[in-house]
Homo-oligomer: A and B are copies of this chain.
Amino acid sequence: MRPTVHDIAAAAGVSLATVDRVLNQRPGVRHVTREKVETAIREIGYVRDVAAANLAKGRTYSFVFIVPASDNSFMHGLNAEVMAAVARSPVERTDIRTLEVPAFDPTALAAALDTLRIERPAGVALVATDAPEVRDAVDRLVQDGIPVVTVVSDLTGSQRHHYAGVDNIAAGRTAARLLGRFLGGAKGDVAVLAGSMLVRDHRERLEGFAAVMAEEFPGLSILPVIEGRDDPDMAHMLVSDALSKRDGIIGVYSLGAGNRGLIRALKEKSVDRALTVIAHELTDHTRTALLDGTIDAILNQDAGHEVRSAIRVLKAKADGLSVIDAQERIRLDIFLKDNLP
């Protein structure tokens, strides 16, 4: 049987009340006594029964999820996953609330974070906009002892406890290698469609992509990045334009959202030329395009996993428990026609 608080009390030769004071860092225990109890805890290998503890506390973890109010398919999917978690929340003793903030607006995000310092939830998850004011606001929360995890996009130099998202440099590198290999030894131009170079994940993907292209596929040259602001219409216009002007384009890498517009542009031009295309994020549109051959591969991060992982990590931090690292690593999914879920 697992040792209980009673066993600690017996082993340390103190009363249950004292053990409780030590375990829950309540005041009123002399230093020597505290040490004695802590030794006993270590020696008999006591671990708190979290289920029983939460039952006793009547505790519910109140978490806040901050998501950008942006309306591309990926963010909709992320929102849906958070909602699914909310639906499950009573069963898991969690009380999850979402907070929408304007996309790409560091000031609004920082303000929202500061509001939470007063509310003091048991944990905060956010899709970070990579700016100093956001970093500082996050660090203030962390200093206040509130667990914080970033989701999808990380925050440079902050003290957030965890990042639930993919390695975007690796994602860009992978895209480059896939594109390069799929193109065989062909020479030509590669167009890159991004949302905005102001978001860290897009910057990193491009960085990885460019690095591998330069190292390994000298026959392919990257054209200046097209910034479509994750907007389908804008993406459509810009990509159509590029394809008309440059007929040396043989490959496309779409590293952000707004793929609906990209796909439309590709279909319009596909009559007279064959392009190899790698895109990010599996949505209804990209899935269809993959199946009909318009897109050759999709790189994806599973929003559901990210949300569940973020919640697990927040819970563990709130309980002072450790996490299984391998379990929380968010993987980069590569989808071809054949392995779609």
Contacts and interface: CB of A to CB of B under 8 A. Distances in A.
A51 B52 CA distance: 7
Given A170-B339, A304-B326, A55 B47 contact: no
Interface stretch (A102-110, A172-180, A219-227, A264-272): A172-180
Contact of A173 (B174, B181, B185, B339): B339
Given A90-B2, A181-B181, A208 B327 contact: no
B336 A333 contact: no
Contacts of A334: 334, 339
B212 A338 contact: yes
Given A51-B54, A184-B185, A331-B331, A208 B338 contact: yes
Interface residues of A, number: 43
A126 to B, nearest CB: 22
Contacts of A308: 324, 327
A185 B170 CA distance: 28
A162 interface: no
At the interface, is chain A mostly helix, strand, loop or mixed? helix
A177 B326 CA distance: 29
B331 A178 contact: no
B339 A332 contact: yes
A327 B304 contact: yes
Contacts of A337: 173, 177
Contacts of A118: none
A56 to B, nearest CB: 10
Interface string A43-73: 0000101011011000000000000000000
Contact of A91 (B47, B170, B329, B331): B47
Nearest to A177: B336
A235 interface: no
A2 B174 CA distance: 47
Contacts of A332: 339
13 contacts: A49-B55, A55-B55, A88-B324, A167-B339, A171-B339, A173-B337, A177-B336, A177-B338, A181-B181, A182-B182, A302-B326, A305-B327, A308-B324
Interface of A: 2, 47, 49, 51-52, 54-55, 88, 90-91, 93, 167, 170-171, 173-174, 176-178, 181-182, 184-185, 208, 212, 296, 302, 304-305, 308, 324, 326-327, 329, 331-334, 336-339, 341
